[in-house]
Structure 1
Amino acid sequence: MSSHMALPPPPSALPRLRYRCAGLCGFVLAVLLLRLPLERSVALVGALRRWAVRSATVGEAEVLVTAVRRAAQWFPGRAACLENSLAAALAALLTRRSVDWCIGARLMPYAAHAWIEVEGVPVGEPSEPDRPYLLLQRT
């Protein structure tokens, strides 16, 4: 089973079937898409956003992140922030909602990170990070 890197534990409540299916499909699509160059995944998420009916609420995004993390628990390979955040963005798009998929980095020590945001609020992230990330890409 995979482990999550320094993220809060997922809520114990089981998401509704609709969100669990979207989370699983989003995770499978994310793993497949990340076999391609990253700019293709960024372009695809950007292109699919026009099909979204509306922006997700923070609550909907939290449920989707939980559903993705539950699907990722059974994946035998890497299921870190990049895979999970892309999967959450794709799961939101599968439910015809949009979220911002963000990729960032920080220095000393260098670290890269990916996450989703709704209305500028990071979803599924620690409430007080030890050091902020510089946003490099928002899709």
Structure 2
Amino acid sequence: MADTKSGFSADERAAMKQRAEELRATKGLKGAAKLAKELEACVEAIEALTGVDGDLARAVHRIVGDVAPHLNPKTFYGFPAYAADGKVVLFVQPASKFDTRYPTLNFDEPAHLDDGPMWPVSFAVVEVTDAVEKRIRDLVAAAVA
């Protein structure tokens, strides 16, 4: 439920605070030091997830490492995310973050999933199967092509 003063829910305010903390944590860091700090935060975010949230985040982390190792792991509003040139390409939004029915795999604007005048950029995942992992692999490959 939205707060009448700010229009944001407590979960949304918490996510914004988390994003501000992410930015503060890497302020002044450059190059390898910044990448290492962001990787550490991403791995910690993944390790904190359980159930389908954790299954999806671990699968995406493994797949990005295989298919798009040039993407840099980081967090984005506390979500495990992967970026190129500082811009988030894809991220996992756990169901537990906003108490939703399923986690989602989301692709941001730098992802090259364009397919005519309309295309999906968010995918609900209720179970990580071999077929789901293959679809994620194909989506990540397309996103960075």
Tell me the TM-score normalized by structure 1: 0.36
Q: Which protein has the larger Cα radius of gyration, Structure 1 or Structure 2? A: 2
Higher relative CO (Cα under 8 Å, sequence separation at least 6) belongs to: 1
